[in-house]
Amino acid sequence: MEARERLAALPASSLYARLKAAGWGGAVVLSTCNRFELLLSDTQKPAEEMRRWLADFLAELTGAAVTPWLYTHEDGAAVEHLFRVASGLESLVIGEAEILGQVKAAYEAARTHGAADKTVNVLFQRAFNVGKSVRTTTLVSAGRTSVASVAVTLAERIFGELSQSAVLVLGAGKMAELSSRYLLGSKVSKLYIANRTAQKAVELAQRFQGEPVAWEKFPELLASVDIVIGSTGSERPVVTKAMVEAAMRQRRGRSLFFIDIAMPRDIEEGIHTLEHAYVYSLDDLRAIVEETLSRRRGEIDSAAALVRDKAKEFAAWLDAHREGRQVGLKHGTREESRIENRESRIGNRDEESSMKLRLATRGSLLAQTQSKWVAERLREALPGAEVELVTITTTGDTLPVEKWGTEGNKGLFAKEIEEALLAGQAEFAVHSCKDLPAVLPKGLIIGAFPKRQDPRDALISSGVKLASLPAHSKVGSASLRRQMQLVLLRPDLEYIAIRGNVDTRLRKLTEGECAALVLAAAGLNRLGRAEVVTEFLDPAKVVPSPGQGALAIEARADRADVLKALALLDDAPTRAAVECERLFMAAMGGGCRMPLGAHARLKDKKIEMDVFYSPGGADPGRHMSANRAAGEGAALAQELAMRMKKR
């Protein structure tokens, strides 16, 4: 990002002058919030020499080596890349419309500086045509697909409904305009707009029911607003650490969130170190973007196919042009009916009542029990539906139990099952939600969370509760999360790793390998073994794993018929709680080897969550709790993750 900032700050005139002096026949500089690219044409230099020159040129401009971030495309690959860029397929937010205007502006700048030769002229006209075709013949741009819209989505996740939130937008350009439009749609309580050119701020505020603010006065608003969106074209940060320090003294502990969608950045880097100040950059928006991709995966594939066809046509024209032959370019598309055909295939499937579904599952007793329970519930909801269990062996099933590891191996029992879903070998799968990584593979989503079982951990012993176990007693659990929280309660006990299925662990207890075991209560309940429980542990003191006690039913995102059927099993309170927990896990870097717990629940029109995290080493870990209004689970997860990371 630092390199992009330096390049974005360079004057276009000096760049074009240097490119001309280097002997390039045609050149276009494309600089956006997410990229800095040079499109160069007609030089006699060998390809390898060109790449070396480009690396040296950019390194000189940035003052640092850029090789780790440098990518090059040549001939047909370069053509396809430009078409993908113009179509929004290479954007931070796939399908966003602003990029086509930015490509046009870059081309016009090249013409102004006399850097557009014939190849550049024809290529960019073609790119505009392809970009427009992609947006009119596919649904790749459906929904919120701009950087500004994702920024507002992030604001909604932080605060839930924005009707009680005051927002300050810095800038009055295209991104500021889009942000204001989406904020108006979200019914923010107050919208302030500040810009160096006061008249532009006034005009934008009038259009979107906001209040214009004199540029020199905006620092005063930092003491009262909830969110600041930075979208100016400044070469330097416009919000400084000193400004925010002064504002935080007046805020009395109230959090202030910055969403920086400018390039170069508007928010000074050191601000994120201040207590109760939270900064989100363009790179932080990627997690939200990833969530939307699976829903539009089919449209993205259609758009990519159209781009490939058009790139091949242009590459043929370019070859002919270089050889002095005259070849025309077609302007039609071959993708007009792709969307209709896909929807027709979905619509012509059998009605849900006569569906034949394959359920992918592991072969363990618990997995089979859970899957059979889901299959039976689905048959009850869809009389006449056929559900067949397909047993799949996972990596976790083949590894010796001593190699299972701890929470770091989330996904150990899911990878092969997910591969089977993507390959079409099954329509859906049932998982213990706590075994799923925070981020699912592209193309898969969780179609349903049935009503949650008991999320607590359970202690099993000869009848002795945790508080009464003799000092130095051995307590068996393979989970670092459990061990580190139990140490806080009983540091005088010895905690050992005992792995295997439920029966194996219970046998080891009976054989005297330990004085007590700690297992998930839900698994014991589902296996009909609840009678062995001595004590259920307080989930505020021994916080469960994210998703513990819940089942997750996973399916392909493009199977609308399957998802419609699975929705019959979805329990809204369970989904709200589990998604909050999984968002916290993702924000903390879920999937890494970390002792982490999260337990959310809905109560009195609020969502509450207890969390635990230990970074390892000598740190014993820490507990935190918070609550927000129901529907603000994502904001709650983000708040707790940010607080936990700052501790």
Contacts of residue 341, Cβ cutoff 8 Å, sequence gap at least 6: none
pLDDT at 43: 58
pLDDT surpassing 60 at residue 80: yes
Q: What is the mean pLDDT of residues 52-58?
A: 79
Same CATH fold, 352-455+546-570 and 2-139? no
Catalytic residue among 33, 433, 514, 580: 33
pLDDT at residue 592 above 50? no
Calculate mean pLDDT across residues 537-553.
95
pLDDT at 294 over 60: no
The answer, yes or no, to whether residue 291 has pLDDT greater than 70, is no
Q: Which of 56-60, 286-290, 311-315 has the highest mean pLDDT?
A: 311-315
Q: Do residues 371 and 361 touch, judged by C-beta distance below 8 A? A: yes
344: confidence class by pLDDT, cuts 50, 70, 90:
very low
**Residue 161: per-residue pLDDT:** 64
Q: Which two tokens stand for residue 133?
A: 């075709």
Residue with tokens 């760049």: 15
Question: Would you state the pLDDT for residue 494?
Answer: 95
Q: CA 169, CA 563: separation in Å to the nearest integer?
A: 39
The third-level CATH classification (topology) of the domain covering 457-536 is D-Maltodextrin-Binding Protein; domain 2 (3.40.190)
Distance CA 306, CA 35 (A): 23
What is the average per-residue pLDDT within 225-239?
90
- Domain segments of the chain as ranges: 2-139, 352-455+546-570, 457-536
433 tagged catalytic: no
- For 593-614, what is each residue's pLDDT tens digit? 578 999 999 988 899 999 999 8
- Output the average pLDDT for the chain: 82
* Beta bridge partners of residue 213, listed in sequence order: 194
Which CATH number is associated with domain 352-455+546-570? 3.40.190.10
Per-residue pLDDT, 131: 87
Q: Cα(578)–Cα(631) distance, rounded to whole angstroms? A: 13
- The dihedral region occupied by 99, where left means phi > 0, alpha psi between -120 and 50, and beta the remainder, is alpha
Most confidently predicted of 379-383, 540-544, 615-619: 540-544
φ/ψ of residue 169, rounded to 5: -105, 125
DSSP 12-79: HHHHHHHHHHTT-SEEEEEE-SS-EEEEEE---S-HHHHHHHHHHHHHHHHTS--GGG-----HHHHH
Report residue 342's pLDDT band, with 50, 70 and 90 as the boundaries.
Answer: very low
Other CB atoms within a 10 A radius of the CB of residue 341 amount to 9
- Compute the distance between CA of residue 399 and CA of residue 587 in angstroms, rounded to an integer: 29
Stronger pLDDT, 434 or 466, i.e. the higher one: 466
Look at residue 266 and tell me whether its pLDDT is greater than 70.
yes
DSSP per-residue letters across 175-223: HHHHHHHHHHHTT-SEEEEEESSHHHHHHHHHHTT-EEEEGGGHHHHTT
Q: Report whether CATH 3.30.460.30 matches the domain 2-139.
A: yes
Residue ranges in 324-434 assigned as alpha helix (H) = 338-347, 365-381, 395-398, 415-422
pLDDT digits (tens, 9 = 90+) for 474-507: 999 988 899 999 999 999 999 998 888 888 899 9
pLDDT score recorded for residue 44: 63
Residue type present at position 622:
R
